[in-house]
Structure 1
Amino acid sequence: MSLTLVMIAGGLVGAGLLLAVWLVLQPPVSGPVALAHLDAQLSRSRRHASVTADRRHQDESPRMRRLGTELADALDQRGIRLPTSLSSGLAMMGVSREIFLARCVLGAVLGFVVPVIVLAPVTALGFVSPSIPLWLMLIGAMVGLVVPVLQVVRESDERRRAFRHVVGSFLDLVAMNLAGGRGVPEALQSAAQISDGWAMTRIRDTLEAARLQGTTPWAALGALGEEVDIDELRDLSAALALVAEDGAKVRDSLTARAASMRRKALADAEGRAAARSQSMLVAQLLLCIGFLIFLIYPAVARVVG
């Protein structure tokens, strides 16, 4: 047990020395880099202050956000960016990059410490050696670091699928309002008032923010499509821009887009159902093989013996 404590103390001392060297050797920041860093901070502040359905009901710890902000600033100073797919997943879930980075670091620390906590009672009883392998703690840290990433990828895919379903209904509603003689802004606002679901609320809040900021609603929808990686919103933005600038009649096009989205969603649901059916068949086959082995094992053992 004493050796384990010595290892932990040595790791903490080494981490402190590494942090001290890192702080001393930080390069000076030039003027353009400082301005770019300030622009990035302002952009993050605007995104954080935007009213969305997810952010309204999300409780963010101030300490976690402070830690994540420091990590984000350190990454920005070195030009390190999150992958585009991961950034769009965080935007879809309504989770800020700062909270995500703080969760990753906290998960890595917990994964590093968990093997020590789990093996400490067994070590105290003398069942295992008091020296805990460093590779076991490193594996735990990697697992703790990867778990938040996998969670974001899985949940964002599910929410993006649901968001596309709502966008298809939104296209139908916009087409109906355009057919009724309303203008593009009025059609968008009226269509967004139909539902109070999280996806429609996010579209409505985006349109409201565009009205307050003085930007066009179709440009705001296109920016939302870029942020959450929804191609249908970008297509809707381009189509509505044609309506506003050239007076194009795109009501039939919007209806056709909505029908195409529903067919694509249906095909996707059928594909996922078929994949799950195949996995169930594989599980049943493995059960049958295990049962057959259980039946023939006594006879084979008797013959071999």
Structure 2
Amino acid sequence: MEIALGALVGLGVFLLIRALIPSRPSAAVTVAQIDALRELGPHSAERRERAESVRELIGRKAAEFYASQGWQMRSLRADLAILDRGWEAFLTTKLGLAAVGFFLPPLFFVALWLVGFHLSALVPVWLALCCAALFFVLPDLEVRRDAKERRADFRRVVTAFLDLVSMNLSGGRGLPEAIMSAAEISNSWAVRRIRDALTAARLSGQTQWAALSALGDTLGVEELVDLGHAIALTADDGAKIRQSLASRAETMRRRELAEIEGKAGQQSQSMLVAQLLLCTGFLIYLIFPAIMQISGLR
């Protein structure tokens, strides 16, 4: 029974880790999956489409419920946008994890009951509710952590983007050509987001700085929003916009350097605390025999 209980706990932990950190399949695995679906025929594809439609239905109903309650969740939506993840799919994941957390404690309760531990029926009920609430919140924590790192990368790209625009303006190009040329110099994910926003603005007749402000508002990057407003104010004066972009890039670099120095200071302080704890433990180890001998307990 102990082995079965340990295996069940290990399986639950493994499923939780797999749910929170989904693996990204390689190209060979994707091709093998396509070949397997082709060999199984149209019925397996229909079953897969049916499962996807069920997940989409759950996510759509959850999104409609959030909208009916007036829960906009703008910060969370911005985090999902910068991670390029859908709102409905995220809600489906939250509900699925909450269901897993709700059914895990009763399973453990049954396993303990089979072993011989008879507990009150209220214990698994409260544990199920607590685990469901915890599992429902876990995707939010993961998204906020990943979005914070990705937003920091995006800010660094914006700093380099400002320098490129300023250099293009110094070379004699106009503002629209300078912005588009700076957005075409790299193929990283952040530059692609900027380039896609500028391309959509050109097709829709929107100004580039308005597109940059809208993109910054969607992704939750305040520096990009401020950049769009600053370009809109000084778009007619080439010298002023060039100086403004250069000074803004310098300010962003100094802020990033200050954040890096602050993180380094925190890490140094944590290492100092760890060293102090280690020295304290070593001193206690050295002094403890003498204290025992003096007190006469030995």
**TM-score relative to the length of structure 1:** 0.73
1:221 equivalent to 2:212? Answer yes
Matches of 1:187 and 1:250, distance apart in 2: 12
User: Gaps (5+ residues) in structure 2?
Assistant: 1-51
- The one-character-per-residue Cα deviations of 1:85-104 (angstroms, maximum 9, x if unpaired) are 22221222112221222222
Contact 1:242/1:248 (8 A) holds in 2: no
| Structure 2 counterpart of 1:210 | 201
* Shift in CA distance, 304/137, structure 1 to aligned 2, threshold 3 Å: farther
From 154, 170, 182, give the equivalent of 1:163: 154
> Paired residues, what number?
244
Q: What is the identity, as a one-letter code, of the residue corresponding to 1:236?
A: L
Counterpart for residue 195 of structure 1: 186
Decide which of 85, 99, 102 is 2:92's aligned counterpart: 102
1:285 deviates by 2.6
Cα distance 1:106–1:168, how it changes in 2: closer, same or farther (>3 A)?
same
TM-superposed CA distance for 1:237, in Å, is 1.0
CA–CA distance in structure 1, aligned partners of residues 234 and 182 of structure 2? 17
Alpha-carbon distance in 1 for matches of 2:251, 2:108: 53
Shift of 1:297: 4.3
1:199-250 CA-partner distances (Å, limit 9, x unpaired): 1111111111112222111111000111112222122212222344566631
Deviation, 1:110, is 1.5
Aligned mate of 1:253, from 240, 244, 250: 244
Kindly provide the CA deviation profile for residues 157-203 of structure 1, in whole angstroms up to 9, marking residues without a partner as x: 11111111000000011111112222222111100111111111111
Work out the CA distance in 1 between the residues paired with 2:59 and 2:190: 26
Q: Could you tell me how far apart the structure 1 residues matched to 2:228 and 2:89 are?
A: 30
Q: Distance in 2 between matches of 1:73 and 1:140?
A: 25
User: Equivalent pairs: percent with the same residue?
Assistant: 48
1:114 aligns with 2:104: yes
Give me the CA root mean square deviation.
2.2
Match of 1:28 in 2: none
What residue is the counterpart of 2:23 in the other structure?
A: none
Distance 2:277 2:137 in 1: 30
Determine if contact 1:184/1:240 at 8 Å carries over to the other structure: no
Give structure 1 stretches of 5+ with no counterpart. 1-60
CA distance in 2, matches of 1:269, 1:197: 22
* 2:232 counterpart of 1:241: yes
What is the identity, as a one-letter code, of the residue corresponding to 1:90? Answer: L
C-alpha spacing 1:123/1:136, structure 2 compared with 1 (3 Å): same
Any conservation in 2 of the 1:92–1:159 contact (CA below 8 Å)? yes
Identify which of structures 1 and 2 has the higher relative contact order when contacts are C-alpha pairs closer than 8 Å and 6+ apart: 1
User: TM-score with structure 2 length normalisation?
Assistant: 0.74
The amino acid that maps onto 2:265 is A
Superposed counterparts of 1:1-305, under 5 Å:
63-82=54-73, 84-129=74-119, 131=121, 132-245=123-236, 249-300=240-291, 303=295, 305=297
Q: Which secondary structure state, in structure 1, belongs to the residue aligned with residue 206 of structure 2?
A: coil
- Are the counterparts in 1 of residues 168 and 178 from structure 2 also a CA contact under 8 Å? yes
How many Å apart are 1:296 and its aligned residue? 4.1
Q: Which amino acid aligns with 2:231?
A: L
Kindly provide the amino acid, as one letter, of the partner of residue 138 in structure 1.
Answer: L
User: Offset at 1:126?
Assistant: 1.0
Query: Mean alpha-carbon deviation: is it higher for 227-236 or for 127-136?
Result: 127-136
Query: Residue 98 of structure 2 contacts residue 131 of structure 2 at CA under 8 Å; is this kept in 1?
Result: yes
Match of 2:240, SS? Answer: coil
